[in-house]
Structure 1
Amino acid sequence: MSHTRINLSDGWFFKQQDGPSDEWLPVSKVPSQVHVDLLANKKIPDPFVDLNERAVQWVGEKAWLYRTYFQVPVKPDQGTCTTDIVFEGLDTFATIFLNGTEILKTDNMFVVYRTNVTDHLKVESQDNLLEIVFDSALLRGRELVNEHAHEHNFLVRQTESGRLATRKAQYNWGWDWGPILMTAGPWRPVYIEQYEARISDVWIQNDVSPDLGECSGTVYAELDGELQPSDTLLLSLSKDGKRVYEQEVTVGTNGCSQKLLDTPFQLPQPDLWYPLGYGAQARYDLQAKLIRDGRELSSQSKMIGFRRTELVQEPDAHGKSFYFRINNIDIFSGGSCWIPTDSFLSQVSDKRYRDWIALMAESNQVMIRIWGGGVYEDDALLDACDELGVLVWHDFQFACGSYPTYESFLKNFETEARQQIRRLRSHPSMVIWAGNNEDYQVQERYKLDYNYDEDKDPESWLKSTFPARYLYEYLMPKLIKEEDRHMIYHPSSPWGDGKPTSDPSVGDIHQWNLWHGAMNKYQEVDALGGRFVSEFGMEAYPHLPTLHAMVSDPAQRFPGSMAMDAHNKATGHERRMMTYVVENFRLTGPLDLATYAHLTQIVQAETMRRAYKTWRRDWEGRRCGGVLVWQLNDCWPTVSWAVVDYYLVRKPAFYAIARALRPLDVCVERTLHDWTQTGDLVDENSGVKTGQVDHTLRARGGTFDVWVASSKLVDVEASVSVRFISIGSGKDVREAITHKVTASANTTTTVIRAETCLPSIPDAEDDGKPFDMASYDPYVIHVTLSVDGRAIASDTSWPEPIKYLDLSDRRVSFDIVSSSRIVVRAARPVKGFVFAEMQGLKLSDNGFDLVPGVDVTVEVEGCLTADKLRYTFIGAPRASLEVS
């Protein structure tokens, strides 16, 4: 018989295990999770709204029973049919019964479980009863900690220690951006498979030659079931419908019991897979067919790609480099970190995953980092990355803790790791595994044993106070070498050759002295970079429709309400967020929700602008190899570091990143005079800092730089124009500067370095005269990059802090060109112009500055026409004004 699959997606019911015996509730479909099913049956309030998260905590403390009836075809007469039941994901501690007989126990959310049930099935047309009991992972985790407390100290930096002993998505215990929602249920598909023999996997291990002219290696196929010596395996590789490789292998060549077949593979002049913006995303269709007596028993196919990949770590003047080289091209990895896209992953569609990755491609982001406290991501997400050219950095699922290494834990993890490495190894977008997220910071915080240079004995690590080193520096690289030998591995994020995780000279860093830690100003990012910044961030509110969706009571819709604060999990978020706002922007009149949300969004957007532009400047000399914002997305409607909210509604920061990562971008930046710290003023005679704050330094002058960043692979001839525009009048205060420039390929090119700024008050350089606020005429510096006479990028530097500026009467106007196009302009410089966004609306640009003489055209798609857009900007009369 041919290999067949019967999906068990319908006809399920569930109940609380210790509830009444007849209280079965319907499940709309499987995959599912218990909160989703309880909500559908109106047994709980929506956990994403108001304070309802707290009202559903009891769900995670209960055991839940799922069941369904199903039928299977008659077994073939020859008796060679095998029937398996496959669980692609059970969350998490489950006991499975088939027709009253226990057939399986599970303890890992990340493992696919397959079990032969041939002897437990009823005959054709009779119902088979499948039952699954899901124990509370919350309670089982606590039990495991108690059970192993004598051999391990379960130290955690987020939430409770029970999660460390449990191979379940760690964010279910809550995080500083997500709720505590302890899920349970069949969260991935359940199905029956019947076969005589089947292909369980097919893949290629290959090398691309240094000159990129040849791809060679081995095609592997893994077989299962009852094989016969005469069975043949047909292997082929096609591109765009044209077959480029074909091979037939007889199973009996090495005996009919052979389960792993291999055959040499060679492809001259391959079409290679390139990251977004560097070339095409060429992919091939790899197919395998198992043939017996002229009939097809089983087949499998997958889309694959070929590329040459390196992580370049070489000594240089700044320490040791850290950047990716794909097909001999150095890649600046500008992108985002990714958390699970929902607290209830069973309800996430393939389309939603693709929509997220499409957002990255639209914003010029070339790398996504899958964070270590979620899940091994869905094939649909990786498929989208393959299609659109987004590189994938994937953490193993360990985060912010000191994990145990007792024997059963190691065995459980090895099964998990081998399965996931095998599943992801054929995706061309997948370029690096990292051992964990921030576990070495836990080692540093608690001073756990770690002598990188001298202790190289893995067995000794198991006996230390930091036994997880065995996982990250021995077991994981061993498994990757065995399963996917060409894959790049990095022990942790962050990590750099055993040095402190904050060392900016080696490896990657998580730069949290923005927002957390020292709470540096976002204007200070030039002093906060590293060889690869794999995390940094700034919080912001989402747009009003999302805020209203998560807080239903109008009386609670104000900044700092109990319900609003409950949707921001970051410790101390009120002080941090308000500090960044009031340092930079005016608070005028009643601080309504719309105004405050806009101010936080501009703070976040300005942080992204400066960070990506500044650290991308360090691509020159490969001083910085990449920047990944924490974070792209949310798992529920909330206030967080995400640059796109739960409903895929973009914040202004999203567009700031898109502009900073353009293939050709231009940046202007002035000297930072810190208006909040002592020591800026220097005595001209002694050269000694006076220790006195001088809030007029910005007005007194300084210098500015202009540079061009390029990811183009050839030099580009361009023109850079620099204007100086009065904020008060909108007039140019001096003649523009124009430079012809050759933007060097794949680096940054300095156009102006330390050019002196004009003072913003007459005779400001004369310390003998008072600072005359009446004559204070600050200006913006606006730069435009043009190629072949067409402006392709621009940037604006403002005198800071913005709160010192009078931004009233900006004289903003609009042209409604059509229902899908609007043109915005202003007679005077405008800071932080934002159209209000909502689910179902797509704009080509947002969150931009305006200067006189430069119109900004915005394309509009979706649920609103151009004439219905609402907007605001810094200094606008009220938070949301209708276009007139």
Structure 2
Amino acid sequence: MASYKTLSSVRMRNDVQWIGETAWIYRTKFSSPTIPSEDKVAVRAVLAFGGLDTYATVLLNGKEILKTDNMFIPERVDVTTYLKYEEENELEITFESAYLKGCAIVEKYPDHRWGCWNGDNSRLAVRKAQYHWGWDWGPTLMTCGPWRPINLELFSSRISDVYFTSNVDKALKAAELVAKADIEGGDSKVRFDITLDGELIATKTVTSSKCHASHTFTIEDPALWFPIRYGKQPLYDLTATILHNGASISAGAKKFGLRRVELVQDPLIGQPGTSFFFRINNIPIFCGGSDWIPADNFIPRISKEKYYDWVKLVADGNQFMIRVWGGGIFEEQAFYDACDEFGILVWQDFMFGCGNYPAFPDFLASVKKEAEENIKLLRHHPSIVIWAGNNEDYQYQESEGLTYDFDNKDSESWLKTNFPARYIYEKILVDACAELVPDTYYHYGSPWGGKETTDPTVVPNFDKLVGRFVSEFGMEAFPNIKTIDAFLPLGKDDPDRFAQSSTVDFHNKADGHERRIALYLVENFRYAPDPLEQFIYSTQLMQAECLASAYRLWKRQWKGPGKEYCGGALVWQINDCWPVTSWAIVDYYLRPKHAYYTVKREMALISLGITRKEHIIPKTNTHVHTLPKQPKLRYGVQT
């Protein structure tokens, strides 16, 4: 696979676009395990596809066994009758161009009002990571293929899923846990075991019914899972085992944490609207943190260790929450495992972003299955405290004047408007979450607050009238000089090693970035564009001061019971998917920018800030008042 250095120039990046417009065939051969003749009747063979990106036709030994059209849906195919047990098997997968398929779908539905920010309209028709079409921080690099493992499974009976619902009482003295297991096969005895640090806490053997088993446990004095800095993160193990004649033949296990989570939306003292903050184990939490995009354009390159390192950076930076952005992917288990371990809360978007998505029947059916399958994959993680329907799709609706009547609750009528995707966010995803994660809050969008953001009755004031929860805010800055040298073909000796060069410019995808960065710099700093190191320092200082001041101002609005005027703020963004100038506070190579450290400082247990006291001239006073030579300053300490 090409490195980002070899793809650094505009010409070479454009030269690879044909890859995303071409069909590709993946082919492999494998031998299946030997099965004793007496067991062949009972044994089933299943090919489990963790993820196929995206339009795939799968052949096993020359026979078609599967067609897919959604990158986010895992597939399981019974291949018992297709498998060769004494010979070599051939698996062949043909991937069509997702870009061309998307273009064809757009042409097929001309009545839909297609439109989006970032990428092009074809992405809206395809259930594939939306950032593959390019974004204002990432390149257009369309890929295809098996992006998650493919496994051959042989079994007579198996645990297909282990899951649970839990409830910790308000006194935090007991927890009720309903353990559940789904079963494939004929065996009916299932044993549930709950352990903590290797010690058996509870066990129960039950008889399954209709391929499902469950049992309700009560755990006294539970070891509670807390967000980072508020307590420990103990993780229990729930194991379900199928018993046949007293012997274990299949088992499935999940780690889980017990915690009481509430999203508090109560009336506020002295201000309209309600609060929006999380209370974990009866403790109100100001959720300072960051937004997360995929850590690479080529997802399989992100190792378990790299996920751990990224989440550790979040934890070490005094951050409490990370938001998985809706234009990427439902992340790998390793990401959420790390969040569970460190105590980082997760705001989880569904995978829709910045556009007007269609709602034709096949698309809705695929979205429904996608939502259900990914909720099942992730619902055991104690770190996930909220699911959100999309990223900025309601903002796109407002911008384009698409139909949205909040008071209209007839969901079928939404499908007949020019904003039919409302049916996805306010019907399909609502139903999926209510059924599969009833104890986790679902929010229509990120952001979404019930009112139009252009509502003239809401007066913007950066420090005082901030959003109740800021799910995105940010400022661009150049990355570390070592990161820039890494993508310049000749490194530090490259003639393009200056801020306005075509190569450096190409590594910033934000529209109008040159003018925006230059204006902020010239208005706030004495700086020079040369040497490049000084220019980089200036942009990072600008970003650092911007984010730090925002945190100081907004934490000041976290004033105690009834005055939680701001319940959280998430920086856009923590990371990058390639070496680039962007809003990230840590670059692609995990090199922190200055802002990482100023955010860490502001999210410490105590931070100190200074603001000017307002001097207001009464309307009835026609005299000009001069400020005193020694202006009064207000000191604020946030904890």
TM-score by length of 1: 0.69
Q: What does residue 288 of structure 2 align with?
A: 334
- Residue 250 in 1 paired to residue 207 in 2? yes
Which residue among 2, 5, 25 is the counterpart of 1:65? Answer: 25
Relative distance call for 1:181 and 1:490 in structure 2 (3 A) is same
Relative distance call for 1:51 and 1:268 in structure 2 (3 A) is farther
2: CA distance, partners of 1:351 / 1:646? 15
**CA displacement at 1:684 relative to structure 2:** 13
**CA displacement at 1:218 relative to structure 2:** 1.4
**CA displacement at 1:638 relative to structure 2:** 0.2
**CA displacement at 1:45 relative to structure 2:** 7.6
The answer on whether the counterparts of 1:291 and 1:297 sit within 8 Å (CA) in structure 2 is yes
Q: Deviations over 1:284-310 (max 9, x none)?
A: 011111111233211111210011111
2: CA distance, partners of 1:250 / 1:505? 60
Q: Secondary structure at the match of 2:544?
A: helix
Q: What does residue 417 of structure 2 align with?
A: 464
The answer on whether the counterparts of 2:479 and 2:593 sit within 8 Å (CA) in structure 1 is yes
Q: What amino acid maps onto 1:90 in structure 2? A: L
**CA displacement at 1:528 relative to structure 2:** 6.1
**CA displacement at 1:275 relative to structure 2:** 0.6
Query: Counterparts in 2 of 1:431-450, with a 5 A limit?
Result: 431-450=385-404
Q: What does residue 540 of structure 1 align with?
A: 477
1: CA distance, partners of 2:332 / 2:282? 29
1: CA distance, partners of 2:623 / 2:426? 50
Q: What does residue 627 of structure 1 align with?
A: 569
Q: What does residue 549 of structure 1 align with?
A: 486
The answer on whether the counterparts of 1:394 and 1:434 sit within 8 Å (CA) in structure 2 is yes
1: CA distance, partners of 2:349 / 2:509? 23
Q: What amino acid maps onto 2:343 in structure 1? A: G
Q: What amino acid maps onto 2:230 in structure 1? A: Y
Relative distance call for 1:391 and 1:399 in structure 2 (3 A) is same
2: CA distance, partners of 1:55 / 1:705? 57
**CA displacement at 1:84 relative to structure 2:** 0.6
Q: Deviations over 1:398-433 (max 9, x none)?
A: 000111111100110111100111111100000000
Q: What does residue 231 of structure 2 align with?
A: 279
Q: Deviations over 1:19-49 (max 9, x none)?
A: xxxxxxxxxxxxxxxxx3xx38xxx983356
**CA displacement at 1:682 relative to structure 2:** 11
Q: Deviations over 1:581-613 (max 9, x none)?
A: 11111135x622111110000000001110111
Relative distance call for 1:503 and 1:338 in structure 2 (3 A) is farther
Q: Deviations over 1:800-830 (max 9, x none)?
A: xxxxxxxxxxxxxxxxxxxxxxxxxxxxxxx
2: CA distance, partners of 1:339 / 1:672? 39
2: CA distance, partners of 1:134 / 1:149? 26
Q: What does residue 705 of structure 1 align with?
A: 634
- Residue 194 in 1 paired to residue 154 in 2? yes
**CA displacement at 1:551 relative to structure 2:** 2.1
- Residue 291 in 1 paired to residue 243 in 2? yes
The answer on whether the counterparts of 2:8 and 2:489 sit within 8 Å (CA) in structure 1 is no
Q: Deviations over 1:186-228 (max 9, x none)?
A: 1111110110010011111111111111111411100113x13
Q: Secondary structure at the match of 1:580?
A: helix
Query: Counterparts in 2 of 1:379-390, with a 5 A limit?
Result: 379-390=333-344
Q: What amino acid maps onto 1:54 in structure 2? A: N
Greater shift, 651-660 or 680-689, is seen at: 680-689
- Residue 686 in 1 paired to residue 626 in 2? no
1: CA distance, partners of 2:33 / 2:540? 58
The answer on whether the counterparts of 1:533 and 1:628 sit within 8 Å (CA) in structure 2 is yes
1: CA distance, partners of 2:582 / 2:156? 52
Which residue among 47, 55, 62 is the counterpart of 1:100? Answer: 62
Gaps of 5+ in 1: 1-35, 514-523, 674-679, 691-696, 711-884
- Residue 609 in 1 paired to residue 551 in 2? no
Relative distance call for 1:555 and 1:701 in structure 2 (3 A) is farther
Q: What does residue 609 of structure 2 align with?
A: 667
Q: Deviations over 1:470-508 (max 9, x none)?
A: 1111111111111111110000011112x11356999xx
The answer on whether the counterparts of 2:207 and 2:213 sit within 8 Å (CA) in structure 1 is no
The answer on whether the counterparts of 1:177 and 1:568 sit within 8 Å (CA) in structure 2 is yes
2: CA distance, partners of 1:567 / 1:615? 32
**CA displacement at 1:462 relative to structure 2:** 0.9
1: CA distance, partners of 2:326 / 2:175? 32
Relative distance call for 1:683 and 1:424 in structure 2 (3 A) is closer
Q: What does residue 765 of structure 1 align with?
A: none
The answer on whether the counterparts of 1:559 and 1:592 sit within 8 Å (CA) in structure 2 is no
Q: Quick one: percent identity of the two aligned structures?
A: 46
**CA displacement at 1:703 relative to structure 2:** 2.7
Relative distance call for 1:650 and 1:173 in structure 2 (3 A) is same
Q: What amino acid maps onto 1:668 in structure 2? A: I
1: CA distance, partners of 2:583 / 2:543? 8
The answer on whether the counterparts of 1:448 and 1:466 sit within 8 Å (CA) in structure 2 is yes
Q: What does residue 747 of structure 1 align with?
A: none
The answer on whether the counterparts of 2:6 and 2:489 sit within 8 Å (CA) in structure 1 is no
Relative distance call for 1:652 and 1:502 in structure 2 (3 A) is farther
Q: Secondary structure at the match of 2:53?
A: coil
**CA displacement at 1:345 relative to structure 2:** 0.5
- Residue 158 in 1 paired to residue 118 in 2? yes
Q: Deviations over 1:709-758 (max 9, x none)?
A: 22xxxxxxxxxxxxxxxxxxxxxxxxxxxxxxxxxxxxxxxxxxxxxxxx
1: CA distance, partners of 2:620 / 2:276? 42
Q: What amino acid maps onto 1:487 in structure 2? A: T
1: CA distance, partners of 2:152 / 2:571? 42
Cα RMSD over matched residues? 2.3
- Residue 596 in 1 paired to residue 535 in 2? yes
2: CA distance, partners of 1:81 / 1:470? 42
2: CA distance, partners of 1:355 / 1:701? 48
Relative distance call for 1:100 and 1:196 in structure 2 (3 A) is same
Query: Counterparts in 2 of 1:116-155, with a 5 A limit?
Result: 116-124=78-86, 126-150=87-111, 152-155=112-115
Q: Deviations over 1:768-808 (max 9, x none)?
A: xxxxxxxxxxxxxxxxxxxxxxxxxxxxxxxxxxxxxxxxx
Q: What amino acid maps onto 1:616 in structure 2? A: K
TM-score by length of 2: 0.95
Query: Counterparts in 2 of 1:500-515, with a 5 A limit?
Result: 500-501=452-453
Q: Deviations over 1:81-121 (max 9, x none)?
A: 11111110111111111111111001111010110111111
Q: Deviations over 1:820-868 (max 9, x none)?
A: xxxxxxxxxxxxxxxxxxxxxxxxxxxxxxxxxxxxxxxxxxxxxxxxx
1: CA distance, partners of 2:478 / 2:617? 36
Greater shift, 547-556 or 651-660, is seen at: 547-556
Equivalent residues, number: 629
Larger-gyration structure (1/2): 1
Relative distance call for 1:504 and 1:348 in structure 2 (3 A) is farther
- Residue 352 in 1 paired to residue 310 in 2? no
Q: What does residue 179 of structure 2 align with?
A: 219
The answer on whether the counterparts of 1:525 and 1:610 sit within 8 Å (CA) in structure 2 is no
- Residue 637 in 1 paired to residue 598 in 2? no
Relative distance call for 1:569 and 1:672 in structure 2 (3 A) is farther
**CA displacement at 1:50 relative to structure 2:** 6.2
Q: What does residue 736 of structure 1 align with?
A: none
- Residue 112 in 1 paired to residue 74 in 2? yes
Q: What does residue 264 of structure 2 align with?
A: 312
Q: What does residue 31 of structure 1 align with?
A: none
The answer on whether the counterparts of 2:357 and 2:421 sit within 8 Å (CA) in structure 1 is yes
- Residue 483 in 1 paired to residue 423 in 2? no
- Residue 238 in 1 paired to residue 177 in 2? no
The answer on whether the counterparts of 1:494 and 1:501 sit within 8 Å (CA) in structure 2 is no
Which residue among 51, 55, 78 is the counterpart of 1:89? Answer: 51
2: CA distance, partners of 1:623 / 1:527? 9
The answer on whether the counterparts of 1:601 and 1:652 sit within 8 Å (CA) in structure 2 is yes
The answer on whether the counterparts of 1:221 and 1:261 sit within 8 Å (CA) in structure 2 is yes
Q: What does residue 14 of structure 2 align with?
A: 54
Relative distance call for 1:460 and 1:687 in structure 2 (3 A) is farther
2: CA distance, partners of 1:709 / 1:52? 50
- Residue 418 in 1 paired to residue 398 in 2? no
Q: What does residue 321 of structure 2 align with?
A: 367
The answer on whether the counterparts of 1:48 and 1:636 sit within 8 Å (CA) in structure 2 is no
Q: Secondary structure at the match of 1:594?
A: helix
The answer on whether the counterparts of 1:550 and 1:638 sit within 8 Å (CA) in structure 2 is no
- Residue 531 in 1 paired to residue 468 in 2? yes
